[in-house]
Amino acid sequence: MVRLLPSSYENLMGYELSLPSNSSIFQTPKILSRHNEAAYKPNAFSIGPFHYGGANKQMEATQKIKLKYFRDLLSRSKDPEELYSRHTATVRSVQRQAWDCYAGPIEGRVEEKFVEILVLDGCFISELFRRDAKNKLRDPNDPIFSMSYLQEYLIRDLILLENQIPWMVLERLFSLTKLSPDESLIQLALEFFGNIFSSNEPSVTPNQFQERNIEIKHILDLLRHSLLLQLSPDKFNEEPTGWEPFPCATKINEAGITFKKGEAGSILDINFKNGVLEIPPLLIQETSETILRNLISFEQCCPNYQPIVTSYAKLMDNLIETGKDFEILSEKNICK
């Protein structure tokens, strides 16, 4: 027989019944993932503990790539063994806070294994961003930069909500191997994901994160903030007004409203004035559905996060109901 209540009042009061306040990495709720479960699961690169040790043969192969990146990073040091120890000690010093970032069961929950996962994956990501920015760091036979399909897999897997590691861990590991005092993890990450939303060059800088005192939770959160920071301050701080029904592009066009391609850096910066609906272009590519679905899942799960990307996705879903709707937006270079 399953016990519904603790055996005593003391046990009831002693239970931890709430999520840690810094939980930010979630397993996607079934109500969201049921529409397309593949959009939330890694194909080739497991990052963090949720999908570590997957039976996927592709993941077994990419684990070797991660180890190679880590070894190469350490080998640039005068004392690789000492640097290895510093990486492990750094993550171990914040492992409790890092553990609390994960909302949901972590299989095994072996603390030393958890530290190893974060060290390896964090150093792999740091080295990846550096190699993307500096060709001289790349091995001529580096599979990620010589095989385009593998890079597409990687970009997609790095933006999954379930496949994140805490930014505070990533930043601490990155700082141990800085190539120069002014090297910025934020800048390298923004450059790596530069065209994930639009073909326009992102105009966000690391200083903007500091000026607004933004605490980045992980890579997916960084990408969300990169969209928000390109909005004007009044829009950035705008309170949500609730869902409003919106007609499709064909009906809007028939009503005499004109569509215009917006020039703003953020796809979220939509404006309506004098009968003109101005929408920045969305670059339709393999990662588009995945990034939007995972940002929606993040907004829906993370406490006190406004559903800003969710609202954008809902608007675009209402606008595009048929092929004709898509053609109308394509003709204006809004979707391409």
| 0.95 surpassed by pTM | no
Non-local (6+) Cβ contacts of 218 within 8 A are: 24, 25, 101, 164, 165, 166, 167, 170
Residue located via tokens 């994960």: 102
Does residue 272 sit in helix, strand or coil? strand
Calpha distance 139→250 (Å, rounded): 51
Calpha distance 331→325 (Å, rounded): 10
Non-local (6+) Cβ contacts of 215 within 8 A are: none
What are the pLDDT tens digits along the chain (336 aa)?
556 666 665 555 544 555 667 899 999 999 999 989 999 999 999 999 999 877 677 888 899 999 999 999 999 999 999 999 999 999 999 999 999 999 977 765 567 799 999 999 999 999 999 999 999 999 988 999 999 889 999 999 999 999 999 999 999 999 999 999 999 999 999 999 988 998 777 788 999 999 999 999 999 999 999 999 988 766 656 666 667 778 999 999 999 999 999 987 799 999 999 999 999 999 888 899 999 999 999 999 998 899 999 999 999 999 999 999 999 999 999 987
Non-local (6+) Cβ contacts of 273 within 8 A are: none
**pLDDT for 241:** 65
